[in-house]
Amino acid sequence: MKLPFCFITRGSRMFYRLQQKEFLSHFPRLDVTASRCGSTQMCKDDKSFYITTPIFYVNASPHLGHLYSAVIADCLHRSKLLQGFNSRFATGTDEHGLKIQQAAEAAGKDPLIFCTDVSERFKHLFNSCNISFTDYIRTTEQRHRQAVEHFWSVLWNKGLIYKGIYEGWYSTQDESFLMPSQVGEALDSSGKEIKVSLESGHKVEWMKEENYMFRLSMFQSQLINWLRENPRVVQPERFHQAVLQWLQEDLPDLSVSRQRSRLQWGIPVPGDTEQTIYVWLDALVNYLTVAGYPDKHNQWWHMAHHVIGKDILKFHTIYWPAFLLGAGLPLPQVIYVHSHWTVGGKKMSKSLGNVIDPLEHSQTFTNDGMRYFLLRQGVPDSDCDYTQHKVMKLLNAELADSLGGLLNRCTAPALNPFQVYPSFCSQSFPSDQGGRAVTDDYHMLAAVKHLPTVVEQHYHSMHIYKALEAISSCVRQTNGFVQRHAPWKLDRGDSKDQRWLDTIIHVALECLRIYGTLLQPVVPEISNKLLTRLGVQPGKRSWDALNFLPRSQGMDCPFEGRPLGPDSGVLFSRLETQSDDKQKPKKTKKSANLK
């Protein structure tokens, strides 16, 4: 894959190379490490965390992919909060540029009214799906305009922007400049031959205009050094390698403005009303705007983490760090990249009619159901295919049957008539073998004890599916434990049996408490229901309170003997396909009984 950078014509290229040489001779080398905490290593005592999603274009309604990015960032934000971080989470909408200008024109609407309408739809989706953003940014806001103008002026004053001629291909859909090698031929819907971006398939057009150029070429070696010195700064690894590979090629300067006559819908270049700032420069600065740039960004900016889709990798790993280096600002700590959702094996597109409306699907599968599916099935390294059948199968198996079934068993009046967190008996389940517990039970305890560390690591590296896989495996083991000892067969009249029964339930409830706590970032409503049913107070749901099965280590358990919380029904209702239509699931009240 090659990079779609802007390029300039031969004549002008020679001219600008000369200009650059001259310029470099009196420009001090910019230092990648100049910034505080400029590496992926967090400052040890710093408990601030700042996470962002891309800001989404408002040319069309939100789709499944947008919700996916938001859910990933929300999960990371929530997990940091539970770990005691002061976390800030920003999302929002990207409202300038040719694409939006044309979409507003096509809708016959004033651009700002058009943007407000679609931006509200994104906000509504995120609020409905429990995306707990702390900041919602729109690039049409005044605070953002000020930040962009300031940022531009800093680059300008440092001599990093100059006027030049750009001639080459431009894709309005991608708002991106392309090299000739990145352009191919295709037929449009009327059979006409057109030029398209090989990467995105979107139509490209030839353009030639005078505009402002950013000295991107100057930053090539610093970008390479930054990536080499911080091998975990772009995750997963394959995307890190892809960026390094791109940087082996020529890195021409970048056009960072468009003529006002073509693009009116954007922020004018300070001091030149004939030019509009390139939408990607405008959009990327949103991350700084939220952090409080230009005056108050230090607390948050040095802890910036970006979640992005693979489609916008070069903008975030080449343009953005180069702009930041130019402006003398710290670089992001981590750029988490995820792959795409396809539907029926194909890219989602209006023309194919396969665009998934995330709001509609969240209503069908519940918010938590949708969140769980996306995070459990979504693998950052490769694209995943979305089908309703898969969603139902997964949710029924893991949320309704496995997790819901376990809770149901351990809290059912038949096994737990006094509705309490029963006592643990260390003779029945001693720390070494010799009681009634068997080897597999000890293996299960070891797995659950280790689970918080495993989950935390996977959340932190955005391998959320691996965290959920680990939790799911432990839930299965706990179900196996209950099944193996069949507490419903024990004789309540026998005090030894009663103590063993209580111990089985105590252990299972302790496991459920760990699962409920660890699942909060992914399924906040289900976790809340589960922990409330166990009688775990809100103050006892953080990572610090995890401390699994303290009774097995001779310590007190704060929950032992306490009443359970109220029963508010099944944890997750099974979804059933209507016989006449495989694609339309309905919810049933039944929860699985695994006996």
Contact between 403 and 515 under an 8 Å Cβ cutoff? The reply is yes
Burial 399-433 (b: 16+ CB within 10 A, else e): bbbbbbbbbbbbbeeebbeebbbbebbeebbeeee
Residue from 51, 66, 265, 521 that binds ligand ME8 (CB under 6 A)?
Answer: 66
How many Cβ atoms are within 10 Å of 82's Cβ, its own excluded? 21
Q: Strand 346-347's sheet: what is its strand order?
A: 346-347, 341-343, 384-386
Residue from 141, 210, 311, 357 that binds ligand ME8 (CB under 6 A)?
Answer: 311
Residue 214, H or E segment: strand 205-214
* CB proximity list for 504: less than 8 A, separation 6 or greater: 481, 482, 485, 487
522 vs 546, which CB is nearer to ligand ME8?
A: 522
Q: Under the criterion CB under 6 A, does residue 312 sit at the interface with ligand ME8? A: yes
- Kindly state the tokens that stand for 515: 């699962």
Q: Under the criterion CB under 6 A, does residue 54 sit at the interface with ligand ME8? A: yes
Q: Under the criterion CB under 6 A, does residue 121 sit at the interface with ligand ME8? A: no
33 vs 382, which CB is nearer to ligand ME8?
A: 382
Residue from 56, 365, 459, 559 that binds ligand ME8 (CB under 6 A)?
Answer: 56
DSSP for 259-310, written as a single string: ETTT--SSPEETTEEEEEE-HHHHHHTHHHHHHTTTTS-HHHHTTEEEEEEG
Residue 258: strand pairing partners: 276
Largest CA distance in the chain: 96
| Dihedral, CA of residue 389, residue 395, residue 396 and residue 402, to nearest 10 | 150
Burial 501-524 (b: 16+ CB within 10 A, else e): bbbbbbbbbbbbbbbbbbbbbbbb
371 vs 533, which CB is nearer to ligand ME8?
A: 371
Q: How far is the C-alpha of 282 from the C-alpha of 288, rounded, in Å?
A: 11
Contact between 338 and 105 under an 8 Å Cβ cutoff? The reply is no
Residue 98 CB, nearest approach to ligand ME8 (Å): 13
338 vs 499, which CB is nearer to ligand ME8?
A: 338
SS3 66: helix
Q: Under the criterion CB under 6 A, does residue 68 sit at the interface with ligand ME8? A: yes
Residue 138 CB, nearest approach to ligand ME8 (Å): 12
Q: Under the criterion CB under 6 A, does residue 265 sit at the interface with ligand ME8? A: no
Residue 309 CB, nearest approach to ligand ME8 (Å): 2
Could you tell me which stretch among 208-216, 303-311, 515-523, 574-582 binds ligand ME8 (CB under 6 A)? 303-311
Contact between 118 and 93 under an 8 Å Cβ cutoff? The reply is yes
Residue 177 CB, nearest approach to ligand ME8 (Å): 15
Cis peptide before 585 (omega within 30 of 0): no
Could you tell me which stretch among 49-57, 261-269, 419-427, 530-538 binds ligand ME8 (CB under 6 A)? 49-57
Measured at CB, which residue is nearest to ligand ME8?
A: 65
Question: How many residues make contact with ligand ME8 (CB under 6 A)?
Answer: 19
Residue 43 CB, nearest approach to ligand ME8 (Å): 25
386 vs 572, which CB is nearer to ligand ME8?
A: 386
Residue 99 CB, nearest approach to ligand ME8 (Å): 9
329 vs 425, which CB is nearer to ligand ME8?
A: 329
Q: Under the criterion CB under 6 A, does residue 65 sit at the interface with ligand ME8? A: yes
Contact between 56 and 94 under an 8 Å Cβ cutoff? The reply is yes
91 vs 532, which CB is nearer to ligand ME8?
A: 91
118 vs 526, which CB is nearer to ligand ME8?
A: 118
Binding mask 338-377 for ligand ME8 (x = CB under 6 A): --xx------x-----------------------------
Residue 65 CB, nearest approach to ligand ME8 (Å): 2
Residue 168 CB, nearest approach to ligand ME8 (Å): 20
Question: Exposed, middle or buried, 372 (CB in 10 Å: 0-12/13-18/19+)?
Answer: buried
Q: Under the criterion CB under 6 A, does residue 281 sit at the interface with ligand ME8? A: no
> For 581, phi and psi rounded to 5 degrees?
-150, 105
Q: How far is the C-alpha of 464 from the C-alpha of 77, rounded, in Å?
A: 13
Q: Under the criterion CB under 6 A, does residue 515 sit at the interface with ligand ME8? A: no
Q: Under the criterion CB under 6 A, does residue 308 sit at the interface with ligand ME8? A: yes
302 vs 316, which CB is nearer to ligand ME8?
A: 316
Show the DSSP H helices in 87-141 as ranges: 98-107, 111-128
Residue from 94, 95, 167, 401 that binds ligand ME8 (CB under 6 A)?
Answer: 94
Contact between 557 and 420 under an 8 Å Cβ cutoff? The reply is no
Residue 69 CB, nearest approach to ligand ME8 (Å): 4
Residue from 309, 326, 332, 369 that binds ligand ME8 (CB under 6 A)?
Answer: 309
Contact footprint for ligand ME8 (CB under 6 A):
54-57, 65-66, 68-69, 94, 283-284, 286, 308-309, 311-312, 340-341, 348
